[in-house]
Every structure is written in C-alpha cells, then in structure tokens.
C-alpha cells in the first residue's frame, strides 16, 4: 500500500470523524469551555460600552478639567469647572476617635474616555482617582491571566480530554470500534486519521474561542489605543496566543488519545496528567520537558500576572515553567507529541474488540 493511499485513508477517516467531533452531544461542553472566556470578555466590553454611552449622555467634562483637579480644591470650585457631575453622593461619617461628624462626598466625572472618582471631606477635595474607563494594558494582563490559568489549563485541557479520549474509548463504549478496525488500513493510519480529526476539531473550536476573546478585548477599549496596539504588538501577540492554543490541542490531544487507548476509566488519566502538569515546577528541568504546559507557557506572549506577596509555593504552581525560546518550545512540544503518538501506535497495533468488559 503506497503513501498516497494511506494519506487518502487518513483524510477519509478524519473527515468521517470530524462531523462527530463537532456535532456529538459529548462535544457540547467543549464549546462551553472554549467560549466561556469570550462570553466574560464580551460581557465586560458590553458593560464598558453601555456605561460609556450612558455617562456620555449624562454630561462629559473637558479632559483638561480632569487633569487640573488637585487636592484641596473646594467642592464649589470643582463643580464650577466641571459642571454637573454624573454622580454626586453625600454622607456623614463619625469615627469613634473623632468628636466631630465629617461630611463626606463622592463625585464622579467622565471626559468621554476616563473616569475620575473624587472624594471630598468637609467640601475639600481629599483624593482624585482618574483612570480610563477601560484600560488596554490592564485588559491585556487580565487576558494573559485568563488565557494561561483558565484557557490552557482548564478549557483546552478538559476540552481535549473530551474530544481525544473518546476517539477510541468512546467507540468502544458505543460498540462501534469494529467499524474502523475492519477497514483495510494500517492501525497507525487509523490512529493518525482519528488524531487529525480531533486536532482539527479542537483547534478550530479553541482558536475560535481565543479569537472571540481577543476581539472582545479590543472592542472594549478606546479605538485610538486599540489602533496603536494593532499597529505594534497586537498581531504578534494574537499569533502567539493562537499558536499556544493549537499547540495545547496538539500536546494534550496526543496525551489523551494515548490515554484513551490504555485505560477504560477516564478519571485515571485526568488525575495523573493534571497532577503531573501541576507539579512540574517542583521537578528537575529534564522532567519538566515532559510536560505540555512547560512548552505552552513559553509560547504565551504576555506573562500571566501573579500578585505581589503570593507565596513562593503558589507562585511556582501558577507559573512553574522555566522560560525557553518560542521555537525551542514549539519543536520540543512537537517532539513530545511525536513520542506520545509513537507509543500510542504501538498500543493501537494490538488493540482488540472487547465490548463485553466495557
């Protein structure tokens, strides 16, 4: 049998499997996982847009006015310069150690892009906190955190588990694996066809999730700032996120495909891989290279934010991998995947129909 026949068989197997990977009931929660961050980011963007729209209608101040606000100004001076505020709330405060009652006031001003929260004490401006309604830098940090801590470690991990673990195990449970084993194809061809279908399905689903999330991130922010970002780092960062997404599917896909061939109880591979991926920070550098996460973290363009004061142990759990260059990471992950798939091909050669025991 020649290579072109085998390639065609891989294509046929992948095509047949794709429909199932995309449309089966088992895939439903994979979509939920993939699209959940996008829903959150779009929710955030909509909130920003609604607030911006409402506040703009209620009255904006000149940006220069916000820049001129200083502590010590009186309430009347501020109102005279800024006009009617969007929010003006007054209350009285009395502390145990103070004899007199203090009159406090919170005033919110908006210049169309930035919001300024002013706090008055007895009509004197005590503090000014001015910040953009939406901050691209801040949102990028949040995106980096969500991408690394949720998207890669939870969504892609469990999504790939759902898709790839079932490529063989699901067929065994459905009692349909014989359909494939009776095809005039080498078992390795069957393995590759199924892997390819899982890879295409998971990559498309999670790439869609990443792109939607990124679009929501941009939509929420100031167009000028976004344009500037688009002209500089946006393309590069989006490419690296997409690369990490696809590589996540490549790596976790191979691991769970192999796991589906080896074990009947899915809890076992989940626990083992999750445990392994969690503890790699504590392992020697050599063993870290046997983790998918090790490579994925190196591909991510923005470091995930870890708050100051976070204990070293937790910091190591959150961000364990030693940085390596992107292309070393890509090649490393592909090498690891090839190794896992080779091991899986050894197993699939000996796979037998054993429906009765499942």
Given 134, 189, 201, 249, the residue binding other proteins (CB under 8 A): 189
Q: Does 54 bind other proteins (CB under 8 A)?
A: no
- The Cα 347–Cα 358 span in angstroms is 18
Question: Do residues 293 and 322 make contact, with C-beta atoms less than 8 angstroms apart?
Answer: no
Given 65, 181, 233, 317, the residue binding other proteins (CB under 8 A): 181
User: Which among 11-19, 134-142, 222-230, 242-250 is the span making contact with other proteins, rule CB under 8 A?
Assistant: 11-19
- The Cα 282–Cα 218 span in angstroms is 37
- Side-chain-facing half-sphere of 152: CA atoms under 13 Å: 33
User: Which among 44-52, 180-188, 212-220, 333-341 is the span making contact with other proteins, rule CB under 8 A?
Assistant: 180-188
Query: Judged by CB, which is closer to other proteins: 23, or 328?
Result: 23
Question: Do residues 258 and 347 make contact, with C-beta atoms less than 8 angstroms apart?
Answer: yes
Given 183, 242, 270, 274, the residue binding other proteins (CB under 8 A): 183
Using alpha carbons only, give the angle 333, 339, 341 rounded to the nearest 5 degrees. 100
SS3 231: helix
Q: Does 19 bind other proteins (CB under 8 A)?
A: yes
Given 175, 236, 264, 346, the residue binding other proteins (CB under 8 A): 175
Q: Does 255 bind other proteins (CB under 8 A)?
A: no
Question: Do residues 281 and 316 make contact, with C-beta atoms less than 8 angstroms apart?
Answer: yes
Q: Does 98 bind other proteins (CB under 8 A)?
A: no
Could you identify the residue written with the tokens 């004061």?
A: 309
Q: Does 3 bind other proteins (CB under 8 A)?
A: no
* Beta bridge mates, 107: 88, 118
List contacts with other proteins (CB under 8 A): 1, 5, 8-9, 12-13, 16, 19-20, 23-24, 171, 174-176, 178-179, 181-187, 189, 350, 352-357
């Amino acid at each position: 049998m020649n290579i072109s026949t085998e390639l065609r068989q891989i294509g046929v197997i992948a095509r047949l499997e794709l429909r199932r990977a995309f449309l089966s009931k088992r895939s439903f929660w994979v979509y939920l996982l993939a699209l959940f961050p996008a829903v959150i980011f779009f929710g955030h963007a909509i909130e920003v847009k609604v607030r911006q729209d409402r506040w703009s209608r209620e009255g904006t101040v000149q940006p220069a006015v916000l820049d001129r606000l200083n502590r010590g100004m009186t309430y009347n001076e501020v109102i005279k310069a800024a006009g009617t505020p969007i929010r003006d709330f007054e209350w009285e405060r009395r502390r145990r150690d103070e004899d007199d009652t203090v009159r406090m006031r919170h005033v919110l001003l908006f210049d169309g892009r930035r919001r300024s929260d002013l706090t008055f004490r007895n009509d004197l401006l005590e503090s000014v906190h001015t910040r953009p309604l939406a901050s691209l830098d801040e949102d990028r940090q949040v995106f980096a955190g969500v991408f690394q801590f949720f998207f890669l470690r939870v969504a892609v991990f469990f999504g790939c588990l759902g898709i790839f673990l079932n490529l063989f195990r699901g067929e065994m449970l459905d009692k349909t694996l014989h359909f494939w084993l009776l095809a005039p194809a080498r078992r390795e061809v069957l393995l590759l066809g199924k892997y390819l279908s899982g890879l295409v399905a998971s990559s498309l689903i999670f790439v869609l999730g990443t792109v939607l999330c990124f679009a929501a991130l941009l939509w929420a922010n100031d167009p000028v700032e976004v344009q500037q970002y688009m002209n500089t780092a946006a393309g590069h960062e989006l490419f690296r996120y997409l690369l990490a997404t696809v590589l996540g599917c490549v790596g976790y896909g191979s691991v769970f495909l192999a796991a589906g061939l080896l074990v009947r109880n899915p809890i076992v591979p989940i626990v083992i891989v999750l445990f392994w991926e969690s503890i790699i920070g504590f392992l020697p550098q050599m063993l870290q290279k046997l983790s998918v996460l090790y490579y994925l973290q190196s591909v991510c363009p923005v470091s995930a934010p870890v708050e100051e004061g976070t204990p070293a142990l937790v910091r190591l759990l959150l961000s364990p991998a030693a940085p390596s260059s992107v292309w070393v990471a890509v090649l490393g992950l592909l090498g690891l995947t090839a190794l896992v798939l080779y091991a899986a091909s050894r197993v699939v050669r000996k796979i037998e129909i054993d429906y009765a025991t499942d």
